[in-house]
Structure 1
Amino acid sequence: MMVRLYDTQAQTLRDFEPTDPANVTMYVCGPTVQSGPHIGHLRAALSFDLLRRWLAHRFGRVTFVRNVTDIDDKVLANATVDEPWWALAYRMELEFSHAYAAIGIDAPTYEPRATGSIPQMIELIDALIERGHAYAAPDGSGDVYFDVRSWAPYGALTHQSLDAMEPAADADPRGKRDPHDFALWKGAKPGEPADAVWTAPWGAGRPGWHIECSAMSRRYLGGEFDIHGGGLDLRFPHHENELAQSTAAGDPFARYWVHNGLVTVDGQKMSKSLGNFVLATDALAVRDPLVIRYALGAAHYRSSLDISEKAFDEADAALDRIRSFQERAARVLDADRVPATDLPHEFVAAMDDDLNVPRAIGVIHEHVRSGNTALDAGTDPTEIAGAADAVAAMLDILALNPRSERWQTASAGPSATALDTLVQTMITQRADARAAKDWAAADRVRDAIAAAGITLEDTPDGTHWSIDGK
């Protein structure tokens, strides 16, 4: 069996063969930290967290780099007198890190800030000028542009012809030879903060957006690496320009291009003008982080994902079915046994097939159903243990296991404790009524519990409750 990934540039599924099978190298474009994260940012980061986890399982090691763009026009525009650009960027970076960690996204191997690699950007720009693929604006402004017509393969990622492209709108066109040329360096302008300016051979200023990722990927992974990832909206112009400038500088650059689909809200494109942005902080304030992770990861990473209250409710119900089975199985299995960690063949096949998480989750629920059937039938514990261990192993790969310490800690709190106390009190009242043969009272308690969406299971060692049962 071999991992296969959809390569955006090749526009087809390709067998994934890393340069070094003992160390997969992966670069993903991280956030521009001018404002806090929304649900689309979480979906993008989660897509590559899942890919990283699977590649680590298959190959053993993944060197994963995700950058932070902390100097950009938008960061400068959102700064204030009371909060300078660098303070705003750091505050927003912390918001992203908190939101990522909350839904179980592991920190990257390296997470460089753009401002930490300015010398490497200047070096790369200098090399492009020497090779004849970039030029400093003749007006002395300090601007430097990539000369797109000097590089014949320009457009190779998105398969567009140059003349069909929109002009580059990432910088002042004051010194451009061609409207499609894009900024590598932006000369300092009056009114911009003095601490947002760096010295360069062609004039003081700051880097363009695209050069940042080319320089940082080269610095941390070398001139050639396995996977370049990011959102579908980054293919053009950002990734197209990265590919052009890096290869024009002599680097082989990324061997596979992987892009995640975008997010809609209640069927509409997420847009500030429509006011339908779902901020990460708002979602985390009202939803269990594990539910958010499940909801955002349940669709195929390349598909569009529609986020609604219904999607979160469905994720919540699916997790309750898993949790209920795990709790039932735990009551009949030896707590001291060593669980098996083998993954079902069907799960592995799904994950190897372009990270088909929806199919993999389907395999998990098939094992939950078969495990519940075995429990209902009072089957030999060996069969129950097989289902429980397979479910746990698959959930652990996806970081969706409700019984893992990560989520046990996250879900523990005053609300959970209060709910358990109330339900246990009602269970005691029902038991007392049954002991007194007051069947009407016992039925009233049972019906009240059921009306709240809680299922009771009477076993030889007591009554246990779960939400939504199986």
Structure 2
Amino acid sequence: MRWRDPFSGWGYPGWHTECVVMSSRYLGEEFDIHGGGMDLKFPHHECEIAQARGLEKPFARNWMHTNMLTIEGQKMSKSSGNFVTLFDVFKKYDPLTVRYFIAASHYRSLVDFSESALTSAGISMKRLHQTVRNLREIKADGAKPSGKYFEEFRKRFCQAMDDDFSTPQAIAVLFDLSRDVNKLLSEKRAEPEAIVDAEHLFSSLGGDVLGIIPESLEASQSELQIKNVMEVLVELREYFRENKDFASADLIRERLQKIGIEFKDLPEGTTWEVTDNN
């Protein structure tokens, strides 16, 4: 970068000055958050602060320093041949999956990028999506969010985000909420207001805040096909159980467990869910 000055024509300031000038110009003399990698704490960010404060500018209120990203345990670099771009990743993985993968780690922790980690992240995220989809399919008779149900989860979520922006803890709260909601739905005793409150929490916390639960969760064609196949397997397993062929029934359960699908035998019937234990 260069600027014209009154003394020598063109001036080439140091990068500390560049950042101070640009941030003050476009964000104001005082702004909320200044981000950057941990490797920029010193000397770059300290020099920014020194220059801004030297001009009696308050500068950034908060600093967020992110850790590094590795690829299969190795530092990412073009020279190593393991450099990937988001455009490359999005050809294979849904952007929401990548977003969930990043949010599942604390911003100050080292993140290792791998296909297995992204696949696991996608499975975990779909578990949350399935709970939300189940909620949205229920007719709540025009009920409005009441704030009477599940508010302890909102408090825990906010506490997690207030604790140094701990998105992993916040996601864990959403899974705790999902567990309680699934239990409520399986018992078929949920009040309409409870259904609406739960869906509202998922949409506001998981959607508006974390951006991992979209407004629309239409099942893909492949997901619909899997659902149809699972319905057949549930019926087949039930047939074996009714005819006391428990070995065949157990074989279906065991084979599905190995690929991350769990059966739940309830008084009103058998349900299934995808887990991340495969």
Residue 390 in 1 paired to residue 201 in 2? yes
Residue 404 in 1 paired to residue 211 in 2? no
C-alpha deviation, 1:421, in angstroms: 6.1
Give the letter for the 1:361 counterpart: I
**Which protein is richer in helix relative to its size?**
2
Residue 247 in 1 paired to residue 53 in 2? yes
Output the CA distance in 2 between the equivalents of 1:317 and 1:431: 21
Q: Name the larger-Rg structure.
A: 1
Residue 375 in 1 paired to residue 185 in 2? yes
C-alpha deviation, 1:385, in angstroms: 4.4
Relative to structure 1, the CA distance from residue 252 to residue 428 in structure 2 (aligned partners, 3 Å threshold; closer, same or farther) is closer
C-alpha deviation, 1:363, in angstroms: 0.8
Q: Match of 1:227?
A: 33
C-alpha deviation, 1:317, in angstroms: 1.6
Give the letter for the 1:348 counterpart: C
Q: Match of 1:364?
A: 174
**Residue pair 2:140, 2:195 contacting (<8 A) in 1 also:** no
2:86 paired residue among 280, 302, 314: 280
C-alpha deviation, 1:321, in angstroms: 1.2
Once the two structures are superposed, the pairs formed by residues 46-445 of structure 1 within 5 Å of their partners are 71=1, 198=4, 201-204=7-10, 206-334=12-140, 336-339=142-145, 344-382=154-192, 383-396=194-207, 397-401=209-213, 403-405=214-216, 408=217, 416-417=220-221, 419-420=222-223, 422-423=225-226
C-alpha deviation, 1:373, in angstroms: 1.2
Relative to structure 1, the CA distance from residue 274 to residue 251 in structure 2 (aligned partners, 3 Å threshold; closer, same or farther) is same
**Residue pair 1:350, 1:360 contacting (<8 A) in 2 also:** yes
**Residue pair 2:124, 2:275 contacting (<8 A) in 1 also:** no
C-alpha deviation, 1:230, in angstroms: 1.5
Output the CA distance in 1 between the equivalents of 2:198 and 2:206: 12
Percent of residue pairs identical: 35
Query: Number of paired residues?
Result: 258
C-alpha deviation, 1:311, in angstroms: 1.9
Relative to structure 1, the CA distance from residue 207 to residue 336 in structure 2 (aligned partners, 3 Å threshold; closer, same or farther) is farther
Q: TM-score, normalised by structure 1?
A: 0.46
C-alpha deviation, 1:335, in angstroms: 6.8
Secondary structure in 1 matching 2:170 = helix
C-alpha deviation, 1:336, in angstroms: 4.1
Q: TM-score, normalised by structure 2?
A: 0.73
**Residue pair 1:210, 1:241 contacting (<8 A) in 2 also:** yes
Relative to structure 1, the CA distance from residue 282 to residue 252 in structure 2 (aligned partners, 3 Å threshold; closer, same or farther) is same
**What is the aligned-residue RMSD (CA, Å)?**
4.0
